[in-house]
Structure 1
Amino acid sequence: MTQQYWVGDFFVDISRNQITHQDDTQILAPKAIAVLTALAQNQGKVVSQDALLDTVWANTVVSPNTLQRSIAQLRKALGDDGKVQVIIKTHAKQGYSLESNVKWQHEEHTQTPPQTTETLNQPVNNKSDVFQFTFKHAAAIIVSVALVILAFISLSEPTPAKLEIAKLNALTATDHRENAGIYSPDGEFVVFHRYEERLCINNIWAKSTKTQEEFQLTQQLNSHGSHTFSADGKSLYFIQEQDCRQPITQKQCYKLMGLDFAKSLRGAQTPTTLMECKNTRISTPIWMQGNQIALLQQTEQQWKLISYALNEQQSRDVYVPNEGSVIDYDYSLADDLIALTHVDGDGNYNLTMLKPDGTVLSQNQIELPPEIAKHRYIYPNFSPFKDRLMFSTGRQLFTLSYEGKISTIELPVDVPMGSPRFHPDGSRLLVIKGFYDRDMASVSLSELAAHYQDPLRDKHQQLYTIEERSITSEGGATFQPNGNLLAFYTFRSGIQQVWLKENSKVRQLSNFPLDSFIYGMHWANDGQSLLVNVSKELQQLTLAGETQTFSFNYPIEQLFYWDSQNQTALANIRINGIVKFAELDLSQLRYTILTNQPANWAQKDSTGRLVYTDGLDRFWYSNTLENTLIETLNEQGSNLQFVIDNDIIYGINERFQLWRYSLETRQFNIIGDMPRNIDYLSDVRGDKAFISLRIEAKKELAELVLKQ
């Protein structure tokens, strides 16, 4: 087989896994080159995903995600755009095609771009032609000089990082959920949260990396989020969340806690409260030199970086954006350096390197490559790669230079994982992997009410019907207006996509790229299309699979409602890093702020009046002059969403009771008890309600051992 060929003016060398363009050579994964070669052999023709998988990954079981990742790598190397698709074109539900010209050549031929006959035979007959010829040569010299300059500049660009995995070790294999894993400073222990769902208890555990013995460090902690060690490994610090006794601005209160690690290994201990916040949120504690704890703190929706001095028991600001908000940060003990990502007042996404005293060393805008969604925020950690951070988008790993440049990491592990934590010696890294199994179910409201009113009812009786089941997450089920279709989203194809169900038949409607996530979906008034918030960007999706993107210049955090007739939508949006509740004008790509805080959920009634819940789960109803609190529904709100059908609000309270409230008559009543593993209420039509049920949520710690 010929080992070299041209795709347009890109020279492909199969034997070296290289793509060269104007003296710029890139090395790609062999499988990516094999995919390109298979497409080149069928230039201009559509090659199905199955055919490509059978050709490139013969006798190997892989998911379609693996192929899509190779396509993304090829598009980046070829300077292609996933949206415009000039070179590699995606054909929905069919496959891919290579649209550029392909010229095959033998190995003894030189790397000279194929020239057209018109160029080769052009005569030089007059002064004008001579001038053109001379000008072309001058231009070529200028281009050559420019390429030399670019090559010199590129020396400072980060080269692609490589991680070669020797083996994958499972560190925990229980029926519980483990997350937030970190190594102890000496690397001898892994510390993590373990949530026992049957008992609804969350505690911190430790596991010896040598003996595999486990130690429960706390008792009924109910703590979530990350934790951090002091440099000597003697103390462990973390955030504890609990219900506020008298909520004022938030339902949860937050405490910075400390724990003696050595004592906890001998028996579970009660942690010590170091700092408590009742009106602000704190998260992401990291111990720093000088016996300080760095923390993120949120005040009026803006996040800032603070530090808490353990000796003085006082906090101070380290970095507060003039406008915008901090997104994430990490700290390097070895370099005494902070890396911080934030959104500024112009909506730009930046990386700031600073010292713990707040001195800014550098600040650069982060340049997201095509394979990372436009509004995707990243959460980088320090890594063994010099002057580069590391982060994950789910199934893809990247490095981020201190100058804001992103490079892909080749990693042969096809499982979603969070940003990894490296062992102190850099020889291995800790990751969290797992899955979320959620089913769609329906409930008859009349049967539920009859059962609830029966004084002899069996509280353990199953009153729901599973409508759609897979081994992954199904959710967001909504009825088609004036139709029989049911729209929902699921990971059953490997990537979260929109699917349609009619009677017993289901089909995939969307074809979103790798690492896409859906944050809300709503039918059009006529039932002929859906508005989907995919990767925080709104796309209108027709029943034929055609899409239209509404390119707002800011992230759409959550889509609640869509009025297709007036082309307006209700959503939480992030303006310069601050999340606010707004109404969107899709025709003009404009917004109107409704509240300066995010809503928990929102809908509109038949007259177009707004109903929403705030951060305290209180219900508000819009009137001509101002929004009115629906006092009857105090204590009935929760994070399980609500639905309005025929001007009746249906919701689920924190006691897992389904209720209804008429906006017209203002009558309220409890319908019945819902299963305690309910995730949320997604839709109601007449006597039928759709819910999402959590079947199993599995997270576990794993360790990737690197080749030395």
Structure 2
Amino acid sequence: MEKIVLGPWVFTPSEYTISDGSTETELEPLLTKLLHYFAVNPGKILSRQQLVDTIWQQSYVDDNAINRAISELRKALQHPALSQTPIKTHHRKGYSLQLQPLTSPAISTIAATAAGQFSEPQTATISVTKKHTSVFWLAPLALLLLGIGGMMFYFFPAEPEPVTQSRQSDGKPQIIEVDIVNQQKITWYKGIESRPLLSPDKQLLAYSHSQPDGAIRVLIRKLGISSGNTLQEVAIESNDALYSVQTWQPQSLNLLIQAVSKDGKQCEYLNYDFSQYPKYQVTKLTQCSGLVLGVAQVSLDSQWLYYSKSSGGMYSSNALIAENLISGTTQTLHAAPSAGLGVTMLALSGDGSKLAYILMPESNKPDIYLYDPATREHSLVGSLPFAILLLGLEWSIDQASLILPGADGILQYRLADKSLTLLKLPDGVTVGELSLLDHNQAYISALTAAIATQGSFQLVRINLPFNEAERQIHFVNDAAGSSMALAVSPTDVSKYAFAANWTGGWQLWLNNDGKNIQLTELAQDDPMPINSISWSGDGRYIAFIKQANLYLYDTQRHQLIPKRQSNDVGQPIWLPDNSGLVLTLVQGKSQNLWQLDLVSNDLSQLTFTAGNFAQYDSNGQLLYHRDGKLYQFVDGAKQDIELKANSDSNYMAMWTLQADQQYRYSMLGHIEQFDVISGETRQSQLPYQLVGLHPDPHNPDNLYATVFVTPELALEFIQWQPAVAK
């Protein structure tokens, strides 16, 4: 019996039906024939005459009959999980089916689901009904926001030079261009579908689903044709918690999931046993301290849980921790570095004998380590020669290589000879996360590319942020595209500068008394956003960062000045006398504060034990951050005074200063204000996912913030082969 999967529908032509697993619709014979014709010609524009010749097979058919048939078929195919029309009209050309039929044996089909409660499993029917929940943002999506938001300097890898040798001695990868021979969208829910994870037996696919209303759940799909020939998915979700998929346990059908309460106060690692799929058993493994940049992994013998943990909250460096799930004791396997993100992604080999993990140092050039649980030995197997923000780490099918997705390519690091191979993907194909089905087939998420576009970041103005009864929140702009960083002029209450990608690329804009004016004409094809905007105290110059380069905009001469073009700069802040800037500078594996003199262009080093996010307080005293703590600068080393340590791991490990107020925020929407003079602390929670705070220097009752708006991002299945020479 022929069955065709079309988006959320399973189409059975011989029975004249379409089914989504919970409902079945019977189609008229004419509509069945019409849908089958579209299904065997997916994506092709079929003219009205082609439809007449194939479907009606008459010399003449009234236009109204064709219109009515198309309209009725569209209506039958409508589904809450679809974000676009199932049949697209091409003016004066015809119609095309927008639902790609899934024909690969790797692609699954849908029907029953189950819902889990926080720590308590409970079976229920899947529903796409909206839930009004608080907002949340989990790693690795959080990791991406950090990279784009200006807290890291690089996003995409630098383009390596082509090489011809099969093994490289200079650390550069061998580049192999590949063609995509099969690419199919496999999910259709609204929101972000990310972190695809294939079970060790390649029979189950798990992934996270961030919904437009802020809820996050985990979906587990049965691959291949199941009993009843319907698509099967299990949903782990509840009204009390948000779920993030972590990893599969080696050689088992145990899935590790992190559950965090929506107020951020409770965090648990849960084990879901899917050996009797779709039924499952859930077991609480241990508590967790909150959000971290990375994932966790259970050992083959179920005795150990490996995860990354920070001591100072989000963005402070992570250590690699091993927790004994029997005794509850913990061990630090790799200490957190003094700066950088530290340990992020990790993955056990298929046989559980080796743990691979990524260490992100200050330079953001990832170090790749292997840990042997049997001998307790660590080995640095290599360092990537370029800066890149990695969201995935996977072992190859033969366990001989590590696989690292990198936006427009897939890196393969061969452990035996430490050689790098870059599979260069064709234009238009982006891989941020992946899970291998075979050596040349994978389920992927394009998480790295779409997140900064499609209006995903927006600026809001918050009046009376700590008075929930009278608080008002307004979106600053209504233009299509994203806007991100913002800084209010220190001399003119009616002006603020901000970054937006409204014209095909990120540019610096000025809002002058409600009117938006584009200030720069930077390269349109550069995906990197503008961030870290800072006005000079006299209001003349605007400093900002793009691609880790420093620019100044002269508001008097209306001139853009490229100030430092070495791809190593971040987070500029003006000196109180406007004579220069304090910068975060990355050199090799060192990240420190430096002072730049604008007249001589001379640089002088300020900190010698790592430092970032410099700011000046109301007394002109330089403060900066190191490892999740706020310091007062004295000598840049041992004499510097620790002022504050982050006490809540859900908060970003940094404070934003404005006059005598210190602000910090969490991705859960929390904002905290500390008054240095009175010692009073005020807190509030916004109904948005926060990416940045931008205080108004003229009005303490106003705050600007960058918030995240969930875009549409689906999972795909791809198959590739070496490109054919042309």
Match of 1:185 among 193, 200, 207: 200
Distance in 1, Cα, partners of 2:641 & 2:171: 56
> 2:353 touches 2:374 (CA, 8 Å); kept in 1?
no
Match of 1:523 among 535, 559, 579: 535
Distance in 2, Cα, partners of 1:311 & 1:672: 39
> 2:458 touches 2:708 (CA, 8 Å); kept in 1?
no
**Which residue of 2 is the match for residue 214 of structure 1?**
233
Query: Is structure 2 residue 701 aligned with structure 1 residue 701?
Result: no
Match of 2:308 among 288, 297, 312: 297
> 2:246 touches 2:258 (CA, 8 Å); kept in 1?
yes
Distance in 2, Cα, partners of 1:495 & 1:391: 27
The letter for the 2-side match of 1:520 is S
Instruction: Report how far residue 509 of structure 1 moved.
Output: 4.8
**Which residue of 1 is the match for residue 283 of structure 2?**
272
> 2:257 touches 2:270 (CA, 8 Å); kept in 1?
yes
> 2:583 touches 2:614 (CA, 8 Å); kept in 1?
yes
Match of 2:485 among 472, 476, 482: 476
Distance in 1, Cα, partners of 2:529 & 2:474: 27
**Which residue of 1 is the match for residue 595 of structure 2?**
585
Distance in 1, Cα, partners of 2:361 & 2:462: 49
**Which residue of 1 is the match for residue 296 of structure 2?**
285
Instruction: Report how far residue 423 of structure 1 moved.
Output: 1.5
**Which residue of 2 is the match for residue 342 of structure 1?**
359
**Which residue of 2 is the match for residue 394 of structure 1?**
407
Match of 2:432 among 396, 413, 418: 418
SS at match of 2:481: coil
> 1:476 touches 1:489 (CA, 8 Å); kept in 2?
yes
CA gap of 1:546–1:277, structure 2 versus 1, over 3 A, is: same
CA gap of 1:208–1:707, structure 2 versus 1, over 3 A, is: farther
Match of 2:374 among 357, 360, 371: 357
> 2:663 touches 2:674 (CA, 8 Å); kept in 1?
yes
Distance in 2, Cα, partners of 1:341 & 1:525: 41
**Which residue of 2 is the match for residue 83 of structure 1?**
none
Query: Is structure 2 residue 454 aligned with structure 1 residue 435?
Result: no
Distance in 1, Cα, partners of 2:673 & 2:551: 31
CA gap of 1:489–1:305, structure 2 versus 1, over 3 A, is: same
Taking structure 2 as the reference length, the TM-score comes to 0.57
The letter for the 2-side match of 1:186 is D
**Which residue of 1 is the match for residue 349 of structure 2?**
332
> 2:299 touches 2:305 (CA, 8 Å); kept in 1?
yes
Q: How many residues align?
A: 534
The letter for the 2-side match of 1:260 is D
Match of 1:161 among 151, 176, 201: 176
Distance in 1, Cα, partners of 2:626 & 2:354: 38
CA gap of 1:614–1:261, structure 2 versus 1, over 3 A, is: farther
**Which residue of 1 is the match for residue 127 of structure 2?**
none
**Which residue of 1 is the match for residue 130 of structure 2?**
none
CA gap of 1:414–1:265, structure 2 versus 1, over 3 A, is: same
Distance in 1, Cα, partners of 2:216 & 2:666: 22
Cα offsets for 1:329-387 (capped at 9, x unmatched) = 3333169444444368999854344544357696455252xxx44x7668543335985
Distance in 2, Cα, partners of 1:70 & 1:583: 24
**Which residue of 1 is the match for residue 144 of structure 2?**
none
SS at match of 1:532: strand
**Which residue of 2 is the match for residue 604 of structure 1?**
616
Give matches, 1:70-109, under 5 Å.
Answer: 76-77=161-162
Unpaired runs of 5+ in structure 2? 1-154, 225-229, 597-601
Distance in 2, Cα, partners of 1:155 & 1:410: 19
SS at match of 2:607: strand
Distance in 2, Cα, partners of 1:272 & 1:220: 19
Give matches, 1:309-328, under 5 Å.
Answer: 325-328=342-345
Root-mean-square deviation (Å)? 5.6
Instruction: Report how far residue 182 of structure 1 moved.
Output: 0.5
SS at match of 1:178: strand
Give matches, 1:522-671, under 5 Å.
Answer: 522-534=534-546, 537=548, 539-543=550-554, 544-549=559-564, 565=578, 567-569=580-582, 584-586=594-596, 587-592=602-607, 603-609=615-621, 647=660, 666=678
**Which residue of 2 is the match for residue 39 of structure 1?**
none
Instruction: Report how far residue 474 of structure 1 moved.
Output: 0.8
Which is further off, 516-525 or 352-361?
352-361
> 1:431 touches 1:703 (CA, 8 Å); kept in 2?
no
Cα offsets for 1:539-574 (capped at 9, x unmatched) = 243443332338698x85x66776573645376989
SS at match of 1:488: strand
SS at match of 2:278: helix
Distance in 2, Cα, partners of 1:183 & 1:71: 26
Distance in 2, Cα, partners of 1:571 & 1:72: 20
Distance in 1, Cα, partners of 2:505 & 2:379: 37
Instruction: Report how far residue 192 of structure 1 moved.
Output: 1.4
The letter for the 2-side match of 1:193 is S
Query: Is structure 2 residue 273 aligned with structure 1 residue 256?
Result: no
Distance in 1, Cα, partners of 2:157 & 2:624: 42
**Which residue of 2 is the match for residue 488 of structure 1?**
498
CA gap of 1:630–1:332, structure 2 versus 1, over 3 A, is: closer
CA gap of 1:335–1:670, structure 2 versus 1, over 3 A, is: closer
Distance in 2, Cα, partners of 1:239 & 1:383: 25
> 1:221 touches 1:240 (CA, 8 Å); kept in 2?
no
**Which residue of 2 is the match for residue 137 of structure 1?**
none
The letter for the 1-side match of 2:246 is H
> 1:438 touches 1:475 (CA, 8 Å); kept in 2?
no
Query: Is structure 2 residue 399 aligned with structure 1 residue 383?
Result: no
Query: Is structure 2 residue 518 aligned with structure 1 residue 506?
Result: yes
The letter for the 2-side match of 1:487 is A
Instruction: Report how far residue 293 of structure 1 moved.
Output: 4.7
CA gap of 1:235–1:395, structure 2 versus 1, over 3 A, is: same
> 1:367 touches 1:405 (CA, 8 Å); kept in 2?
no
Instruction: Report how far residue 235 of structure 1 moved.
Output: 1.5
Taking structure 1 as the reference length, the TM-score comes to 0.58
The letter for the 2-side match of 1:701 is L
Distance in 2, Cα, partners of 1:444 & 1:221: 27
Cα offsets for 1:417-449 (capped at 9, x unmatched) = 41322115653332244435346556485xx69
> 1:477 touches 1:683 (CA, 8 Å); kept in 2?
no
Cα offsets for 1:474-506 (capped at 9, x unmatched) = 111213444676432234466655444553332
Distance in 2, Cα, partners of 1:344 & 1:442: 33
